[in-house]
């Protein structure tokens, strides 16, 4: 297992693959390691969508996405447990 795999990751939820790819590209261009995942767990009232996971400061990432007009419906932290 690599060091980066042990770190907590953050995510933002977006509604479309287009927004997910744009968010991923913007985060990567700002120094984040990011990837797009299909959101398979929906809360009541949520439609299918995508999540962009990344390592780094979630508040900074949200600010960068807002400044680039990327809409996201939620965000959070994925805690790694051993």
Q: Domain ranges in the chain?
A: 10-78
Which CATH class for the 10-78 domain? alpha beta
What is the pTM (predicted TM-score) of this model?
Answer: 0.80
The answer for residues whose C-beta is within 8 angstroms of residue 77's C-beta and 6 or more apart is 8, 9, 10, 11, 58
On average, the pLDDT of the chain sits at 84
Q: Has residue 4 got a pLDDT over 50?
A: no
**Which comes out higher in pLDDT, residue 9 or 21?**
21
The answer for residues whose C-beta is within 8 angstroms of residue 14's C-beta and 6 or more apart is 20, 23, 49, 50, 51, 52, 70, 71, 72, 73
The mean pLDDT value for 39-64 works out to: 82
- From first CA to last CA, the distance across the chain in angstroms is 12
């Amino acid at each position: 297992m690599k060091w980066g795999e042990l770190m907590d990751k953050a995510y933002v939820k977006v509604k479309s693959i287009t927004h997910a790819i744009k968010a991923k590209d913007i985060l990567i261009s700002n120094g984040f390691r990011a990837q797009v995942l299909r959101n398979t767990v929906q809360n009541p009232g949520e439609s299918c969508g995508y999540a962009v996971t990344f390592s780094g400061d979630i508040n900074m990432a949200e600010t960068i996405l807002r400044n680039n007009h990327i809409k996201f419906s939620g965000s959070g932290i994925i805690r790694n447990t051993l």
